[in-house]
């Protein structure tokens, strides 16, 4: 242990011990060269004599020093000073995840998911640099005072994995993957397993495998199936449990293959907690018949015969191995001799059994021949023929089955429909729906789809329509009020009416602003219900009013300015001179006097240097209007838009994004994730663009998909860092 005031490398002054681990002590120190506080991890004396360990410790610590990521404790320096081997790291004021779990018992689902995402992002950055942590556990995850999550101990973890160090194994065996326990090759999928165990502990407050000894715990990792976390946490969402189970599969091939997929599913679970989008590979699918080549067959035939030991037996033997032979040599010989005699006796019994089996086969053959000759047996019985007719009645020539429509049916009705179709059904939970309560509200495989026999259709049961309280939109523009209502899942019918007047003749509500709603604010309605939004037209000046000037305004502001006019059409046009989202021209021209009830107002909005067809077809704004188009979209988004247009169905999102916390004004990236046919589908909506908040979206999503999550990241020091996400909704464009 280093004393306070000790100077390491003529630079780092030890201020006090702040932690200890299996292999190192951690001190708070001051870097006098850069005048900052740092954490110095010093290797314990008992490990300083192992030159192989020291070499790997230093090389891996140096490799970890190249990692710079918000979710990784940065390594600043590594070296030794008179036999004191040290790593200088970023000083994080906070507690470990292990301490945090101990204090709270178990974490909430959102908190655990957020922490898991941040840890995954740190590990993803390390894996992209070829660095595997190999010791992911709550003790190596730090939560700072401002809530940031950081992974630490990259260098020591990998060095330790190359040398058997009991103190480290004792601390990590609860989180070790089966391949690590077995002593085999470990890679990034080992980190995924350990992350899964860590997530399990976060949501349940306990590790899945425990025991009195390291060996006992290791055997459980190899042999036992874990108790599902929902047994300890009943409110655990289905999707998060499936993610944990997929991370902790004993077979490497059945886990997630990379951290990117883990992150995608974790983010998706936030917006679809009870969704069934996590793909778990079944054992049956992995155990399909494999044709062995002649070469492989020859190799198998010439392999030396061995008596295989189970993994637990081999592990026990390796750990308990000694050079002592407790049994006398003569006794050992007698045991071997006894085994030989037993084998000879067994061979005689085998011959007798074979003769009896042959006799039975001959007898059956005689009966079959005699029965067929007498007409008692046919090629197929009547029962078999009837069964075959029933089985094939609802299948195609190629053996495929057409999926029936189960929505609106009770569970009993669904069972009766599918029982003779060689299809299975599986309930997934409840959801708010316009379908009658207690009936099936949705199914994962659409009606009319062709599927293989014995496919399982997963469905949700309706718990009735979700109740929504109509919000107070007083003071909002008609555009914003409409968007507010639609974002809540309501259908909006927009009407324009002249406003009541104040005593001085001014309008009670300015033109273009929300006047009232029916039902009124505070009323309870069901999701999908229609709400009438009345937008003010201001003062009624008769059939002749002056046309305002909107050139240079944003589309939202322009539509609001034309609030007095009933018919407002918005067109989009490519322009390299006018910024995207701004009005290029208007018709009729400003200053003309027109009848606001009959004149058709046309506003042309710039799409920047992008083809308008890839952003949005010409659309007629309703009385309230629509929001600004996005400044830029990527080729991927454009392709999706074109495909949707070609299919004759376009689903749009026009929602305003507020300024995210922590935004510093740098370039941003917007990524959209939607669940399409049970698979999370991602597309980049915008990238490398500086935008102004509030920011109005104009996004085309997957046809028929009414919701999604938009992730916003800002480019900081050359890398994108996520600042937040938004739940957004889509509606079919008319």
Give the residue numbers marked as catalytic.
135
Q: Which two tokens stand for residue 672?
A: 């959209």
The full DSSP string for 74-113 is -EEEEEEETTEEEEEEE---EEEHHHHHHHHSS--HHHHH
Closest to 109 measured CA to CA, from 192, 229, 228, 197 = 229
Helix (H) or strand (E) holding 216: helix 214-223
Among candidate residues 570, 571, 560, 569, the one with its CA nearest the CA of residue 538: 560
DSSP notation for 24-61: EEEEEEEETTTTEEEEEEEE-GGGTT-HHHHHHHHHHH
Q: What is the DSSP letter of 400?
A: -
Residue 731 φ/ψ region, left for φ over 0, alpha for ψ in the -120 to 50 degree band, beta for the rest: beta
Length of the chain, in residues = 734
Q: Is the dihedral of CA 692, 694, 696, 700 positive or negative?
A: positive
Place of tokens 């939004």: 533
End-to-end CA distance of the chain: 73
What lies within 8 Å, CB to CB, of 113 at 6+ separation is 240, 266, 269, 270
**Cα–Cα distance, 531 to 504 (Å, whole number):** 32
Q: What does the alpha-carbon distance between residue 418 and residue 384 come to, in Å, rounded to a whole number?
A: 21
For 53, 106, 230, 507, the CA distances from 233, given in Å and listed in that order, are 42, 9, 5, 57
Pairing between strand 149-151 and 401-402?
unpaired
Sign for the CA dihedral angle at 468, 472, 478, 481 comes to negative
**What is the DSSP pairing of strand 567-573 with strand 600-606?**
parallel
Angle, CA of 230, 233 and 238, to the nearest 5°: 45
Mapped onto helix, strand or coil, the DSSP state of residue 459 is strand
Q: What are phi and psi of 690, to 5 degrees?
A: -90, 120
Q: Residue 727 and residue 386: Cα distance in Å, rounded? A: 54
Contact 316, 215 (CB under 8 A): yes
Question: In sequence order, what are the beta bridge partners of 676?
Answer: 679
Distance of CA 405 to the CA centre of its chain: 29
Alpha-carbon gap, residue 445 to 5, rounded angstroms: 68
d(CA 32, CA 7): 10
Q: Which long-range contacts link 176-182 to residues 24+ away (Cβ below 8 Å)?
A: 176/218, 176/221, 177/221, 178/221, 178/222, 178/250, 179/252, 180/134, 181/218, 181/221, 181/222, 181/315, 182/222, 182/311, 182/315
| Cis preceding-peptide flag for 11 (omega within 30 of 0) | no
DSSP state of 114: H
The dihedral built from the CA positions of residue 552, 557, 562 and 564, taken in this order, carries a sign that is negative
Is omega for the bond preceding 694 within 30 degrees of 0, making it cis?
A: yes
Which one, of 60, 35, 181, lies nearest residue 130 by Cα?
Answer: 60
266's tokens: 């974790």
């Amino acid at each position: 242990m280093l004393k306070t005031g000790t100077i390491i490398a003529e630079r780092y002054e030890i201020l006090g011990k702040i932690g200890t681990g299996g292999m190192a002590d951690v001190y708070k120190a001051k870097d006098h060269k850069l005048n900052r506080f740092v954490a110095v991890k010093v290797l314990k004396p008992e490990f300083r004599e192992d030159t192989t360990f020291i070499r790997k410790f230093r090389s891996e610590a140096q490799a970890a020093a190249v990692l710079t990521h918000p979710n990784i404790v940065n390594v600043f320096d590594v070296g030794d000073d008179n036999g004191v081997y040290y790593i200088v790291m970023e000083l994080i004021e906070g507690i470990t995840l292990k301490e945090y779990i101990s204090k709270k018992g178990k974490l909430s689902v959102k908190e655990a998911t957020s922490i898991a995402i941040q840890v995954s992002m740190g590990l993803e950055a390390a894996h992209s640099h070829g660095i595997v942590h190999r010791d992911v556990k709550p003790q190596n995850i730090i939560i700072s005072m401002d809530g940031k999550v950081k992974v630490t101990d990259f260098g020591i973890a990998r060095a330790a994995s190359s040398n058997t160090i009991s103190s480290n194994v004792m601390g990590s065996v609860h989180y070790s993957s089966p391949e690590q326990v077995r002593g085999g090759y470990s890679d990034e999928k080992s980190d995924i397993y350990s992350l899964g165990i860590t997530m399990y502990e976060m949501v349940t407050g306990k590790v899945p495998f425990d025991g009195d000894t390291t060996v006992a715990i290791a055997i459980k990792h190899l042999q036992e199936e874990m108790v599902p976390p929902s047994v300890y946490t009943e409110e655990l969402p289905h999707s998060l449990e499936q993610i944990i189970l997929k991370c902790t599969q004993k077979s490497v091939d059945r886990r997630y293959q990379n951290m990117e997929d883990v992150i995608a599913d974790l983010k998706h679970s936030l917006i679809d907690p009870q969704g069934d989008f996590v793909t778990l590979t079944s054992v049956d699918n992995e155990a399909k018949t494999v044709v062995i080549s002649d070469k492989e067959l020859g190799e198998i035939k010439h392999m030396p015969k061995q008596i295989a030991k189970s993994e637990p037996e081999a592990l026990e033997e390796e750990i308990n191995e000694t050079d002592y032979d407790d049994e006398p040599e003569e006794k050992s010989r007698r045991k071997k001799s006894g085994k030989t005699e037993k084998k000879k006796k067994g061979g005689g019994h085998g011959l007798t059994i074979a003769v009896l089996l042959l006799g039975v086969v001959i007898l059956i053959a005689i009966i079959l021949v005699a029965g067929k000759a007498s007409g008692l047996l046919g090629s197929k019985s009547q029962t078999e023929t009837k069964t075959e007719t029933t089985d094939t009645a609802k299948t195609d020539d190629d053996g495929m089955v057409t999926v029936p429509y189960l929505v609106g049916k009770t569970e009993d009705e669904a069972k009766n429909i599918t029982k003779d179709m060689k299809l299975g059904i599986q309930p997934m939970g409840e959801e708010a729906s316009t379908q009658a309560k207690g009936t099936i509200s949705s199914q994962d495989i659409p009606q009319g789809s062709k599927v293989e026999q014995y496919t399982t259709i997963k469905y949700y049961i309706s718990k009735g329509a979700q109740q929504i309280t109509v919000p107070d939109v007083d003071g909002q523009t008609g555009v914003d009020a409409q968007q507010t209502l639609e974002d809540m899942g309501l259908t909006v019918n927009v009407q324009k009416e002249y406003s009541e007047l104040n005593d001085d003749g001014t309008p009670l509500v300015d033109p273009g602003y929300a006047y009232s709603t029916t039902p009124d604010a505070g009323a309870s309605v069901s999701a999908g219900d229609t709400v009438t939004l009345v937008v003010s037209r201001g003062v009624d000046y008769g059939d002749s009013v002056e046309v305002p000037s909107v050139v240079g305004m944003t589309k939202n502001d322009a539509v609001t300015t034309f609030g007095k006019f009933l018919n407002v059409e918005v067109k989009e046009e490519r322009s390299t001179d006018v910024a995207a989202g701004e009005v290029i021209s208007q018709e009729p021209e400003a200053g003309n006097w027109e009848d606001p009830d009959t004149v058709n107002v046309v506003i042309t909005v710039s799409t920047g240097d992008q083809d308008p067809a890839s952003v949005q077809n010409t659309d007629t704004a309703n009385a309230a209007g629509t929001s600004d188009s996005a400044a830029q979209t990527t080729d991927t988004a454009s392709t999706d838009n074109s495909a949707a247009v070609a299919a004759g169905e376009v689903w749009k999102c026009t929602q305003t994004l507020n300024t995210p916390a922590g935004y510093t004004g740098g370039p941003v990236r917007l990524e959209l994730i939607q669940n399409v046919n049970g698979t999370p589908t991602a597309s980049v909506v915008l990238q490398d663009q500086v935008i102004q908040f509030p920011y109005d979206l104009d996004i085309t999503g997957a046809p028929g998909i009414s919701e999604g999550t938009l992730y916003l990241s800002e480019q900081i020091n050359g890398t994108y860092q996520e600042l937040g996400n938004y739940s957004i909704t889509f509606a079919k464009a008319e």
